[in-house]
Amino acid sequence: MLITEGILVEPQPECVAHSSLSGALKSDSEFYDCVKFVVKYTVTPALYAAQATEKWGEPVKKDQTAFNLAMKTDLPFFGYLANTPGLPEHFASYMRATAKSLGAALDASLEDLKWAGFTRGHLVDVS
């Protein structure tokens, strides 16, 4: 999960390393909050995915998820978020850090494109 968030990288198979974002953990409290949020509210529930599938199969309700099992709640994610003191602010910090990291990744991707090789086509911005 930390690799998909861009916090760590896998430069070669079975080797995990710091990314430029992980260095920001020391200097930027929003990135630090982002990692704490990812670990508690995405990685931890992921450990319950199989159990949730066994219990509900393909869920039809918003409270039938691995998140519900992990957090021991009947509230859907955003209900839990709204009713847990301090969590809305933590989520907001996570979203700001994610926006920063996505912006940096987009900038790097655009710089890496070989623009001279594009002779025909359309560029679509979906941000």
Residue 77 is predicted with a pLDDT of 93
Q: 38 with 98: CB under 8 angstroms?
A: no
120 domain-assigned: no
5 domain-assigned: no
The count of domains in the chain is 1
pTM (predicted TM-score): 0.63
- 6 confidence band (pLDDT: 50, 70, 90): confident
Model pLDDT for residues 30-65, shown as the tens digit of each residue: 778 888 888 899 889 999 999 999 999 987 899 999
Say how far residue 103 (Cα) sits from the centre of its chain: 14
User: Rounded CA gap, 20 and 18, in Å?
Assistant: 7
73 domain-assigned: yes
- Judge whether residue 117 has pLDDT over 80: no
123 domain-assigned: no
- SS3 state at 24: helix
Residue 104 is predicted with a pLDDT of 57
66 domain-assigned: yes
Residue 54 is predicted with a pLDDT of 96
Domain containing 88: what range? Answer: 24-100
